């Protein structure tokens, strides 16, 4: 290996179920490549291009074990407890990205229910992604898959309690490719050797974990794609990026490849987990535009039960009763 690490990464690639571009059809076959088509319609509101996923909230059975992973391996920094949850901060985000709430007696999330598929942490460059990959690799953390999606390069794994995680870096938008004016998404083997070579032999930088990422997107198991599109697009204002994958829908704001992945791979009509189950407690969407936030609040108040918080954000539940913090 010419990077000077002395390690050769010979990885047999298996298309992971966590990939946005390789998904199982009902027949068990795979679609390995697709074209994302941005649907710009005029019959629903549009979110501003400043929209991002602000944070995720997780209920875990062992807080210490979770903090060892998110802080010790990924580099988030734990802050003082807030309303029963420990906030974990990223250097880059400047605000909590993950809230952890401990409940050792909570029921496990049953299989084939709605909830979190994965949360995706977005790194500012390939080098920062390589740093985290090498740290996890050296400490023996198990990966579930590696993918080159054309628009991004991604690593897939899970936290100590089985919550799905994607770590990825986007390619510059000028390198994204289009066919007939629509964004092309693929799933190909990730060149791990090329990724590690970004470090140029400076492997000592991997020892200290410092989180420089934000949340790029969240992928959910939902009970109905039609109901999910109705809520996230026609009510909230996301645009459909692609519906070309069996059992899945990807939506975004501002032309991004996706802020939300939505799938029915746990079954159409899948039930919600029992109240208080481990796993996803909700997540936040930040619009970054006060007028858009006000308009959304007025719009939601006409059709949904909305709870306003003292911090200027409001809480609403999606079609599967997942709480969203909107700001």
Instruction: Say what the pLDDT of residue 178 is.
Output: 80
- For residues 40-58, give the mean pLDDT: 86
Instruction: Say what the pLDDT of residue 57 is.
Output: 98
Element (H, E) at 323: strand 323-326
Of 155, 151, 148, 152, the closest CA to residue 191 belongs to 148
Residue 179, pLDDT above cutoff 70: yes
The β-bridge relationship of strands 260-263 and 214-221 is parallel
Give the percent of the chain with pLDDT over 70.
84
Instruction: Say what the pLDDT of residue 210 is.
Output: 87
**Mean pLDDT of all residues in the chain?**
85
Residue 13, pLDDT above cutoff 50: no
The burial of 97, by beta-carbon neighbours within 10 Å (0-12 exposed, 13-18 middle, 19 or more buried), is given as buried
Q: What are the C-alpha distances in Å from 148 to residues 29, 127, 141, 172, 241? A: 20, 15, 20, 14, 18
Element (H, E) at 197: helix 192-197
- For residues 57-67, give the mean pLDDT: 98
Domain ranges of the chain: 23-326
Confidence of residue 327 (pLDDT cuts 50, 70, 90): very high
Of 72, 130, 319, the closest CA to residue 220 belongs to 319
Q: 23-326 sits in which CATH class?
A: alpha beta
Residue 22, pLDDT above cutoff 50: no
Instruction: Say what the pLDDT of residue 226 is.
Output: 97
The β-bridge relationship of strands 115-123 and 164-170 is parallel
Confidence of residue 311 (pLDDT cuts 50, 70, 90): low
Confidence of residue 9 (pLDDT cuts 50, 70, 90): very low
Instruction: Say what the pLDDT of residue 55 is.
Output: 97
- For residues 258-278, give the mean pLDDT: 97
Residue 166, pLDDT above cutoff 90: yes
Confidence of residue 10 (pLDDT cuts 50, 70, 90): very low
Question: Hey, what are 200's tokens?
Answer: 């140029």
Which residue carries 């939300």 as its tokens? Answer: 260
- For residues 253-277, give the mean pLDDT: 97
Q: What is the pLDDT of residues 219-242, one digit of tens each?
A: 999 999 999 999 999 999 999 988
Report the predicted TM-score, pTM, of the whole model to 2 decimal places.
Answer: 0.87
Please, what's the largest Cα pairwise distance for the chain? 61
d(CA 120, CA 206): 20
Residue 131, pLDDT above cutoff 80: yes
d(CA 178, CA 220): 26
The burial of 325, by beta-carbon neighbours within 10 Å (0-12 exposed, 13-18 middle, 19 or more buried), is given as buried
Question: Hey, what are 184's tokens?
Answer: 């092309």
Look at 65 and 14; give whichever has higher pLDDT: 65
Question: Hey, what are 63's tokens?
Answer: 């807080």
d(CA 229, CA 223): 11
């Amino acid at each position: 290996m010419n990077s000077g690490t002395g390690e050769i990464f010979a990885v047999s690639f298996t298309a992971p179920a966590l990939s946005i571009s390789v998904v199982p059809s009902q027949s068990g076959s795979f679609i390995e490549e697709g074209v994302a088509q941005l649907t710009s319609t005029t019959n629903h509101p549009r979110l501003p291009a400043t929209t991002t996923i602000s944070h995720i909230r997780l209920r875990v059975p062992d807080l210490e074990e979770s903090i060892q992973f998110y802080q010790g391996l990924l580099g988030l920094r734990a802050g003082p407890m807030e309303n029963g949850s420990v906030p974990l901060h990223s250097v880059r985000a400047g605000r909590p990205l993950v809230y952890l709430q401990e409940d050792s007696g909570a029921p496990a999330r049953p299989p084939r229910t709605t909830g979190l598929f994965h949360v995706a942490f977005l790194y500012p460059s390939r080098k920062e992604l390589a740093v985290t990959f090498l740290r996890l690799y050296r400490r023996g953390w198990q990966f579930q898959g590696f993918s080159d999606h054309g628009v991004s390069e991604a690593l897939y794994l899970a936290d100590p309690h089985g919550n799905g995680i994607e770590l990825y870096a986007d390619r510059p938008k000028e390198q994204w490719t289009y066919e007939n004016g629509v964004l092309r998404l693929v799933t190909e083997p990730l060149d791990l050797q090329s990724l590690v070579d970004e470090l140029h032999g400076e492997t000592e930088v991997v020892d200290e974990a410092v989180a420089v990422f934000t949340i790029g997107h969240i992928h959910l198991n939902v009970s109905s794609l039609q109901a999910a599109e109705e809520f996230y697009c026609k009510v909230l204002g996301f645009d459909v990026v692609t519906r070309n994958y069996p059992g899945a829908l990807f939506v975004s704001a501002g032309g991004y490849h996706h802020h939300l992945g939505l799938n029915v791979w746990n079954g159409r009509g899948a039930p919600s987990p029992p109240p208080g189950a481990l796993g996803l407690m909700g997540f936040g969407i930040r619009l970054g535009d006060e007028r858009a936030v006000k308009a959304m609040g007025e719009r939601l108040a006409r059709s949904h039960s909305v709870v306003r918080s003292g911090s200027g954000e409001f809480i609403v539940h999606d079609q599967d009763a997942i709480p969203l913090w909107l700001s």
